[in-house]
Structures are given as C-alpha cells and as structure tokens.
Amino acid sequence: MANITKRGNTFRIMVFVGYDMNGKQLVKSTTFTPSVGVTEKKAEKLAQEYAFEFERHCKGYSLLNENMRFCELADWYFTNYAPQELKESTVYTYWGQYKNHIEPVLGNIKVKDINAPRLTQIMQSYDLNPATVKKLYVIVQSIFRRGAEQGFIRDTPCRNVVLPKRKKSRKNKALEEDKLKRFMAYLESKPWDEDFKRIIKVLLYTGMRSGECLGLA
C-alpha cells in the first residue's frame, strides 16, 4: 500500500515496488498538490485516490488508465520523456510553466474528463498574453500526445482547441482642437519649468516620440 505523508499543502506519495539485485528496496515517489480552497478532509481523500492510481501504475496493474489525473501523466512525461528527448533548457522552461500555470488548473482533473471544449475554456480563462497561453498549450499538447503514444490514454484531446487571439493594440488618438487649446492654456497658467513646457509643446505640435524629443536636448 502506498505511503502518504503530508508536507504543508502537498502530499508525498511513496510506493514500494520490490528489491534490486543487491537487495536494496526500490521505491517510486510522486507529489500530489490539491486545488486551492479544497478542505483538509477533501484534500486527504483526493490524495488517497491519487495514491491508489499511482500505485497501480507503479506496479504495472494496467497501462491504459484514463482515470489517471493529468498531474500523474505530466509526472511521467517530465520523468521519462522530457529529459531524454528535449534540451535541458527546454525542460527547465516547460517545468516552470507547468508548475506555475498548468498544474494548478489541470493537475487534479482526470484525463478522461479533459476534452477540446474544456481545454478551450481553460485556455481562454488565462489572464496572460495570448503568446504565453499558446506556449502553455504546446506543453499540454506534448504531454497528451506522448501519453497517447505510450498507450496511457486512448487519444489526445488537443484537437480543435480555440486559443485566445492576440489583442489588438490601441492606437493613440490626437487631441481635438478645443481640448488642445484648453490644455495649452492650462500649461501656461502653471509656474512650471520653462524647459518642461517647451518639451510638452514640441510633443504636442510635432507628434514626436518622447525619446526622440529628449534626444534633441
């Protein structure tokens, strides 16, 4: 039976899988992190369920197991695939992005419950630059694809997922004539430094960028 040890907000799970040729005990381990806001009792139950599924895989009870949670599939990916097939720098980047953005959202969801519409909803919910979301999706896509190739899951759900589009940049609008006149009157009424006033006037009348204007000084 798997050994579960609570460490802060996470659970350390260890499974005894036998002995090596020298009689040394062989143990496989993983870490389970419950979702934010889950009660302590619920977290312990989820950890036990996760430990059960982890033990089944460690002992080879079944290969195809779509009841596994996404974090378990990801653990396999980062333990067995990524170090062998990806550059060290890529693994480091993927792991950081996974722990910071992907695991907190997808980690505790069973892979059988993850489909294209759900992934679309998750990707659209990120409050991140669309380019960053696309990078996260590439990681999720890679984990699912390798899991399907190895027979852990039947197929990858990463098809027809709609990613957020790049936000259009807002164009700067020029001040209307009456507003410009009011602003200039306000500027002249203040006892500010004359050089500062000149810079503001140059920017307003020429449309020059601030860096270009300061470069003239």
**Mean pLDDT of the region 208-214:** 68
- 145-191 confidence digits (pLDDT tens): 988 887 778 789 998 999 998 765 555 566 677 887 888 888 888 88
Confidence bin at 99 (pLDDT 50/70/90): very high
Residue position matching structure tokens 């990681």 = 139
Rounded-to-integer distance, Cα 189 and Cα 127, Å: 43
Residues 122, 109 contacting (CB under 8 angstroms): no
What is the bridge-based pairing of β-strands 10-19 and 3-7? antiparallel
Which pTM value belongs to this model? 0.51
Domain spanning 63-168 has what CATH number?
A: 1.10.150.130
Structure tokens at 180: 């410009």
CA–CA separation, 177 vs 2, rounded Å?
75
Give the pLDDT score at 22.
65
DSSP per-residue letters across 72-110 = HHHHHIIIIIHHHHS-HHHHHHHHHHIIIIIHHHHTTSB
What is the residue extent of each domain of the chain?
Answer: 1-62, 63-168, 177-215
